[in-house]
Protein backbone atom coordinates (compact mmCIF):
# COMPACT_ATOMS: atom_id res chain seq x y z
CA UNK A 1 0.00 0.00 0.00
CA UNK A 2 1.25 3.46 -0.81
CA UNK A 3 1.69 5.95 1.96
CA UNK A 4 -1.26 8.26 2.55
CA UNK A 5 -0.77 11.83 1.38
CA UNK A 6 -2.98 13.25 4.14
CA UNK A 7 -3.77 11.66 7.45
CA UNK A 8 -5.87 13.74 9.82
CA UNK A 9 -6.48 12.34 13.27
CA UNK A 10 -8.95 13.91 15.66
CA UNK A 11 -8.44 17.46 14.46
CA UNK A 12 -10.06 20.02 16.72
CA UNK A 13 -10.20 23.73 16.09
CA UNK A 14 -11.71 26.22 18.47
CA UNK A 15 -11.92 29.86 17.47
CA UNK A 16 -12.13 32.09 20.48
CA UNK A 17 -13.53 35.57 20.16
CA UNK A 18 -14.24 37.94 23.02
CA UNK A 19 -17.79 36.71 23.57
CA UNK A 20 -17.94 33.22 22.13
CA UNK A 21 -16.10 30.07 21.24
CA UNK A 22 -16.72 28.43 17.89
CA UNK A 23 -15.96 24.75 17.53
CA UNK A 24 -15.00 24.71 13.83
CA UNK A 25 -13.56 21.17 13.80
CA UNK A 26 -14.79 18.54 16.23
CA UNK A 27 -12.37 15.66 15.97
CA UNK A 28 -12.05 15.30 12.22
CA UNK A 29 -10.48 12.12 10.84
CA UNK A 30 -9.66 11.78 7.15
CA UNK A 31 -7.18 9.88 5.06
CA UNK A 32 -6.39 10.87 1.49
CA UNK A 33 -4.28 8.41 -0.45
CA UNK A 34 -1.51 9.53 -2.77
CA UNK A 35 -2.89 9.99 -6.29
CA UNK A 36 -6.50 10.47 -5.19
CA UNK A 37 -8.82 13.27 -6.23
CA UNK A 38 -11.14 13.92 -3.32
CA UNK A 39 -13.89 16.51 -3.06
CA UNK A 40 -15.10 17.91 0.24
CA UNK A 41 -18.66 19.16 0.47
CA UNK A 42 -20.66 20.56 3.35
CA UNK A 43 -22.84 23.46 4.36
CA UNK A 44 -21.41 26.88 4.87
CA UNK A 45 -19.74 27.07 8.27
CA UNK A 46 -19.18 23.31 8.55
CA UNK A 47 -15.39 23.68 8.80
CA UNK A 48 -14.23 22.99 5.23
CA UNK A 49 -11.97 26.02 4.88
CA UNK A 50 -10.62 25.59 8.39
CA UNK A 51 -9.58 22.05 7.49
CA UNK A 52 -8.06 22.97 4.13
CA UNK A 53 -6.17 25.90 5.63
CA UNK A 54 -4.65 23.57 8.20
CA UNK A 55 -3.42 21.20 5.51
CA UNK A 56 -2.07 24.23 3.69
CA UNK A 57 -0.03 25.17 6.75
CA UNK A 58 -1.98 28.41 7.23
CA UNK A 59 -3.68 27.53 10.48
CA UNK A 60 -2.95 25.39 13.53
CA UNK A 61 -5.36 23.10 15.37
CA UNK A 62 -6.36 23.27 19.01
CA UNK A 63 -5.81 19.50 19.22
CA UNK A 64 -5.20 16.53 16.98
CA UNK A 65 -2.59 15.35 14.55
CA UNK A 66 -2.03 16.01 10.88
CA UNK A 67 0.43 14.12 8.72
CA UNK A 68 1.01 15.28 5.15
CA UNK A 69 3.39 13.43 2.88
CA UNK A 70 4.68 11.50 5.87
CA UNK A 71 5.47 14.57 7.97
CA UNK A 72 3.84 15.81 11.12
CA UNK A 73 2.70 19.29 10.25
CA UNK A 74 2.47 20.54 13.80
CA UNK A 75 5.93 19.45 14.77
CA UNK A 76 7.52 21.62 12.09
CA UNK A 77 9.65 24.64 12.84
CA UNK A 78 8.69 27.95 11.24
CA UNK A 79 11.42 27.48 8.67
CA UNK A 80 10.25 23.99 7.77
CA UNK A 81 6.70 25.26 7.50
CA UNK A 82 7.71 27.98 5.05
CA UNK A 83 9.45 25.42 2.88
CA UNK A 84 6.45 23.09 3.19
CA UNK A 85 4.09 25.82 1.98
CA UNK A 86 6.36 26.59 -0.95
CA UNK A 87 7.19 23.06 -2.08
CA UNK A 88 4.72 20.47 -0.78
CA UNK A 89 1.34 22.14 -1.19
CA UNK A 90 -0.22 24.37 -3.84
CA UNK A 91 -3.32 26.37 -2.96
CA UNK A 92 -6.14 27.72 -5.14
CA UNK A 93 -8.78 29.95 -3.56
CA UNK A 94 -12.20 31.04 -4.69
CA UNK A 95 -10.93 34.57 -5.17
CA UNK A 96 -7.29 34.69 -5.98
CA UNK A 97 -6.57 38.30 -5.11
CA UNK A 98 -3.88 37.19 -2.72
CA UNK A 99 -1.73 35.31 -5.23
CA UNK A 100 -2.14 37.30 -8.43
CA UNK A 101 -0.25 40.51 -9.20
CA UNK A 102 -2.51 42.67 -11.43
CA UNK A 103 0.20 44.74 -13.16
CA UNK A 104 2.39 41.78 -14.13
CA UNK A 105 1.85 39.59 -17.18
CA UNK A 106 0.37 36.13 -16.93
CA UNK A 107 3.77 34.57 -17.57
CA UNK A 108 5.47 36.73 -14.91
CA UNK A 109 2.79 35.82 -12.40
CA UNK A 110 3.36 32.12 -12.94
CA UNK A 111 7.14 32.52 -12.69
CA UNK A 112 6.90 34.46 -9.45
CA UNK A 113 6.68 31.51 -7.03
CA UNK A 114 9.63 29.77 -8.68
CA UNK A 115 12.19 32.04 -7.04
CA UNK A 116 14.69 29.31 -6.50
CA UNK A 117 14.77 27.76 -9.94
CA UNK A 118 17.11 28.64 -12.80
CA UNK A 119 15.70 31.48 -14.97
CA UNK A 120 15.48 29.38 -18.16
CA UNK A 121 13.77 26.58 -16.33
CA UNK A 122 11.29 28.96 -14.77
CA UNK A 123 10.12 30.18 -18.16
CA UNK A 124 9.91 26.70 -19.67
CA UNK A 125 7.89 25.48 -16.71
CA UNK A 126 5.57 28.51 -16.84
CA UNK A 127 4.89 27.92 -20.55
CA UNK A 128 4.19 24.26 -19.90
CA UNK A 129 1.70 25.19 -17.18
CA UNK A 130 0.00 27.76 -19.41
CA UNK A 131 -0.57 25.00 -21.95
CA UNK A 132 -1.96 22.76 -19.26
CA UNK A 133 -4.58 25.30 -18.20
CA UNK A 134 -5.39 26.12 -21.82
CA UNK A 135 -4.07 29.71 -21.93
CA UNK A 136 -0.97 29.64 -24.16
CA UNK A 137 -2.14 32.76 -26.03
CA UNK A 138 -2.44 34.84 -22.89
CA UNK A 139 1.16 34.73 -21.78
CA UNK A 140 1.80 38.44 -22.35
CA UNK A 141 -1.59 39.66 -21.12
CA UNK A 142 -1.81 41.56 -17.89
CA UNK A 143 -3.73 39.78 -15.18
CA UNK A 144 -6.32 42.54 -14.90
CA UNK A 145 -7.36 42.09 -18.55
CA UNK A 146 -8.41 38.46 -18.02
CA UNK A 147 -11.89 37.18 -17.22
CA UNK A 148 -12.60 35.65 -13.83
CA UNK A 149 -12.40 32.14 -15.23
CA UNK A 150 -9.10 32.85 -16.97
CA UNK A 151 -7.67 34.34 -13.79
CA UNK A 152 -8.72 31.20 -11.98
CA UNK A 153 -6.86 29.06 -14.52
CA UNK A 154 -3.74 31.19 -14.02
CA UNK A 155 -4.15 30.69 -10.28
CA UNK A 156 -4.09 26.93 -10.84
CA UNK A 157 -0.90 27.26 -12.88
CA UNK A 158 0.65 29.34 -10.08
CA UNK A 159 -0.33 26.79 -7.47
CA UNK A 160 1.39 24.12 -9.57
CA UNK A 161 4.53 26.14 -10.27
CA UNK A 162 6.73 24.38 -7.74
CA UNK A 163 5.26 20.94 -8.56
CA UNK A 164 3.53 20.44 -5.22
CA UNK A 165 2.75 16.92 -4.14
CA UNK A 166 -0.67 18.05 -3.00
CA UNK A 167 -2.95 20.53 -4.73
CA UNK A 168 -5.56 22.15 -2.50
CA UNK A 169 -8.49 24.17 -3.86
CA UNK A 170 -11.09 25.93 -1.74
CA UNK A 171 -14.24 26.50 -3.82
CA UNK A 172 -12.20 27.18 -6.97
CA UNK A 173 -15.35 27.42 -9.08
CA UNK A 174 -17.35 29.50 -6.61
CA UNK A 175 -17.26 32.71 -8.66
CA UNK A 176 -17.45 31.45 -12.25
CA UNK A 177 -20.32 30.36 -14.51
CA UNK A 178 -21.30 26.71 -14.90
CA UNK A 179 -19.44 26.15 -18.16
CA UNK A 180 -16.21 27.63 -16.83
CA UNK A 181 -16.64 25.61 -13.65
CA UNK A 182 -16.84 22.46 -15.73
CA UNK A 183 -13.72 23.44 -17.65
CA UNK A 184 -11.81 24.16 -14.45
CA UNK A 185 -12.90 20.88 -12.92
CA UNK A 186 -11.70 19.08 -16.03
CA UNK A 187 -8.25 20.60 -15.45
CA UNK A 188 -8.21 19.13 -11.94
CA UNK A 189 -9.33 15.77 -13.29
CA UNK A 190 -6.70 15.83 -16.02
CA UNK A 191 -4.01 16.70 -13.48
CA UNK A 192 -5.19 13.87 -11.32
CA UNK A 193 -5.06 11.39 -14.19
CA UNK A 194 -1.39 12.38 -14.51
CA UNK A 195 -0.85 11.42 -10.88
CA UNK A 196 -1.47 14.69 -9.03
CA UNK A 197 -3.11 14.30 -5.62
CA UNK A 198 -5.93 16.84 -5.38
CA UNK A 199 -8.24 17.93 -2.58
CA UNK A 200 -11.09 20.25 -3.59
CA UNK A 201 -13.74 21.94 -1.50
CA UNK A 202 -16.82 22.57 -3.58
CA UNK A 203 -20.39 23.73 -3.26
CA UNK A 204 -21.23 22.50 -6.73
CA UNK A 205 -23.39 19.39 -6.52
CA UNK A 206 -23.18 18.61 -10.23
CA UNK A 207 -19.39 18.77 -10.19
CA UNK A 208 -19.12 16.69 -7.05
CA UNK A 209 -21.14 13.93 -8.72
CA UNK A 210 -18.33 13.42 -11.22
CA UNK A 211 -15.72 12.81 -8.55
CA UNK A 212 -14.65 9.32 -7.50
CA UNK A 213 -14.68 10.15 -3.83
CA UNK A 214 -16.64 12.87 -2.06
CA UNK A 215 -16.52 13.35 1.68
CA UNK A 216 -19.15 15.38 3.48
CA UNK A 217 -18.28 17.48 6.53
CA UNK A 218 -21.01 18.18 9.02
CA UNK A 219 -20.33 20.24 12.12
CA UNK A 220 -16.59 19.84 11.85
CA UNK A 221 -16.53 16.08 11.33
CA UNK A 222 -16.66 13.80 8.31
CA UNK A 223 -20.22 12.49 8.35
CA UNK A 224 -20.53 10.52 5.14
CA UNK A 225 -18.71 9.59 2.00
CA UNK A 226 -19.83 9.00 -1.57
CA UNK A 227 -18.02 6.81 -4.06
CA UNK A 228 -18.58 6.98 -7.82
CA UNK A 229 -20.33 3.92 -9.19
CA UNK A 230 -18.26 1.94 -11.63
CA UNK A 231 -20.94 2.33 -14.31
CA UNK A 232 -20.36 6.10 -14.33
CA UNK A 233 -16.60 6.11 -14.01
CA UNK A 234 -16.05 5.73 -17.75
CA UNK A 235 -18.76 8.16 -18.76
CA UNK A 236 -17.44 11.40 -17.27
CA UNK A 237 -17.29 13.18 -20.62
CA UNK A 238 -20.77 12.19 -21.79
CA UNK A 239 -23.15 15.11 -22.04
CA UNK A 240 -26.41 13.16 -21.93
CA UNK A 241 -25.97 12.43 -18.24
CA UNK A 242 -27.72 14.82 -15.88
CA UNK A 243 -25.02 15.07 -13.25
CA UNK A 244 -27.23 17.22 -11.06
CA UNK A 245 -29.91 14.62 -10.50
CA UNK A 246 -28.61 11.15 -11.37
CA UNK A 247 -27.38 9.05 -8.47
CA UNK A 248 -23.89 8.54 -9.81
CA UNK A 249 -22.43 7.67 -6.43
CA UNK A 250 -23.04 5.26 -3.60
CA UNK A 251 -23.33 6.93 -0.21
CA UNK A 252 -21.71 5.49 2.91
CA UNK A 253 -21.85 6.49 6.54
CA UNK A 254 -18.51 6.90 8.27
CA UNK A 255 -17.48 4.95 11.30
CA UNK A 256 -15.19 6.95 13.54
CA UNK A 257 -12.37 5.50 15.61
CA UNK A 258 -14.62 5.15 18.63
CA UNK A 259 -17.20 3.13 16.66
CA UNK A 260 -19.65 6.01 16.24
CA UNK A 261 -21.76 6.49 13.12
CA UNK A 262 -23.86 9.51 12.25
CA UNK A 263 -27.29 8.36 11.10
CA UNK A 264 -29.01 10.77 8.69
CA UNK A 265 -31.91 12.68 10.23
CA UNK A 266 -34.50 11.27 7.77
CA UNK A 267 -33.62 7.71 8.78
CA UNK A 268 -33.82 8.50 12.48
CA UNK A 269 -37.25 10.03 11.92
CA UNK A 270 -38.38 6.67 10.51
CA UNK A 271 -37.59 5.04 13.86
CA UNK A 272 -39.99 7.32 15.76
CA UNK A 273 -37.91 7.25 18.90
CA UNK A 274 -39.26 8.56 22.19
CA UNK A 275 -35.85 9.34 23.52
CA UNK A 276 -32.26 8.76 22.47
CA UNK A 277 -32.26 5.00 23.14
CA UNK A 278 -32.37 2.57 20.28
CA UNK A 279 -31.89 -1.15 19.86
CA UNK A 280 -28.85 -2.36 17.96
CA UNK A 281 -28.93 -5.99 16.85
CA UNK A 282 -27.32 -8.27 14.34
CA UNK A 283 -29.79 -9.91 11.98
CA UNK A 284 -28.61 -12.07 9.08
CA UNK A 285 -25.22 -10.49 9.11
CA UNK A 286 -26.61 -6.94 9.15
CA UNK A 287 -26.74 -4.49 11.99
CA UNK A 288 -30.31 -3.37 12.58
CA UNK A 289 -31.32 -0.26 14.48
CA UNK A 290 -34.82 -0.07 15.84
CA UNK A 291 -36.95 1.67 18.43
CA UNK A 292 -37.13 -0.12 21.80
CA UNK A 293 -40.27 -2.30 22.12
CA UNK A 294 -42.10 -3.65 25.15
CA UNK A 295 -39.96 -1.84 27.59
CA UNK A 296 -41.12 -0.03 30.64
CA UNK A 297 -40.32 3.64 30.43
CA UNK A 298 -37.34 4.93 32.35
CA UNK A 299 -39.60 6.75 34.79
CA UNK A 300 -41.38 3.55 35.72
CA UNK A 301 -38.11 1.74 36.10
CA UNK A 302 -36.86 4.35 38.54
CA UNK A 303 -39.98 3.89 40.64
N1 LIG B 1 -10.92 33.31 12.09
C2 LIG B 1 -12.08 32.90 12.62
N3 LIG B 1 -12.50 33.39 13.81
C4 LIG B 1 -13.66 32.97 14.38
N5 LIG B 1 -14.46 32.05 13.83
C6 LIG B 1 -14.10 31.52 12.66
C7 LIG B 1 -12.89 31.91 11.98
N8 LIG B 1 -12.79 31.20 10.83
C9 LIG B 1 -13.88 30.42 10.78
N10 LIG B 1 -14.66 30.60 11.87
C11 LIG B 1 -15.92 29.87 12.17
O12 LIG B 1 -15.63 28.49 12.12
C13 LIG B 1 -16.70 27.78 11.51
C14 LIG B 1 -16.19 27.03 10.29
O15 LIG B 1 -15.79 27.97 9.31
P16 LIG B 1 -15.20 27.57 7.90
O17 LIG B 1 -14.12 26.59 8.09
O18 LIG B 1 -14.86 28.82 7.18
O19 LIG B 1 -16.46 26.86 7.22
P20 LIG B 1 -16.77 26.56 5.68
O21 LIG B 1 -15.53 26.77 4.88
O22 LIG B 1 -17.25 25.14 5.67
O23 LIG B 1 -17.86 27.49 5.29
C24 LIG B 1 -17.76 28.83 11.20
O25 LIG B 1 -18.68 28.84 12.24
C26 LIG B 1 -16.98 30.11 11.14
O27 LIG B 1 -17.79 31.21 11.46
MG1 LIG C 1 -15.15 28.03 3.25
Q: Tell me the domains of the chain and their CATH numbers.
A: 33-60+76-267 (3.40.50.300), 268-303 (no CATH)
Closest CA to 39 of 278, 248, 275: 248
Closest CA to 69 of 10, 9, 3: 3
Residue 207 pLDDT greater than 60, yes or no: yes
Q: What is the pLDDT of residue 297?
A: 60
SS3 assignment, position 272: coil
pLDDT grade, residue 110 (50/70/90)? Answer: very high
243-289 residue pLDDT tens: 778 889 999 998 887 888 888 888 889 988 888 889 999 999 999 99
Q: What is the pLDDT of residue 215?
A: 96
**Closest ligand 1 atom, residue 42 Cα:** 22
Q: What is the pLDDT of residue 92?
A: 95
- Residues with Cβ < 8 Å from 44, sequence gap 6 or more? none
32 backbone φψ class: left, alpha, beta (φ>0; ψ -120 to 50): beta
CA-CA distance, 108 to 157, in Å (whole number)?
Answer: 12
CA-CA distance, 88 to 8, in Å (whole number)?
Answer: 16
Strands (E), the chain: 4-16, 21-33, 37-41, 63-68, 71-72, 89-92, 166-170, 197-201, 213-218, 221-228, 249-253, 279-283, 286-290
Check: CB of residue 177 under 8 Å from CB of residue 149: yes
Give the Å distance between the CA of 250 and the centre of ligand 2: 25
Q: What is the pLDDT of residue 298?
A: 58
CA-CA distance, 199 to 196, in Å (whole number)?
Answer: 10
Give the Å distance between the CA of 51 and the centre of ligand 1: 10
Closest CA to 57 of 79, 31, 28: 79
**Closest ligand 1 atom, residue 44 Cα:** 23
What is the distance between the terminal CA atoms of the chain, rounded to a whole angstrom? 57
CA-CA distance, 25 to 50, in Å (whole number)?
Answer: 8
pLDDT grade, residue 56 (50/70/90)? Answer: very high
Residue 1 pLDDT greater than 70, yes or no: no
Q: What is the pLDDT of residue 117?
A: 74
Compute the half-sphere exposure of residue 99: CA atoms within 13 Å on the CB side of its CA. 23
Give the Å distance between the CA of 33 and the centre of ligand 2: 23
CA-CA distance, 113 to 101, in Å (whole number)?
Answer: 12
CA-CA distance, 207 to 198, in Å (whole number)?
Answer: 14
Segment 91-105 shows an average pLDDT of 85
57-97 residue pLDDT tens: 999 999 999 999 999 999 999 999 999 999 999 999 888 76
**Closest ligand 1 atom, residue 43 Cα:** 22
pTM: 0.89
Amino acid sequence: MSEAMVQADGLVKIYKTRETEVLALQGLDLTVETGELTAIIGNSGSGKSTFLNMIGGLDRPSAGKLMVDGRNLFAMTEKELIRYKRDTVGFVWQNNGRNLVPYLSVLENIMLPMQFAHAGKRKARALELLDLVGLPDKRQSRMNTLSGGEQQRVAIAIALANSPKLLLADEPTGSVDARTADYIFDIFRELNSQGQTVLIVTHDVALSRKVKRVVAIRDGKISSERILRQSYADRLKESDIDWRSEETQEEYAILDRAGRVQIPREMLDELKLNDSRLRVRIRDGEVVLSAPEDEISVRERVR
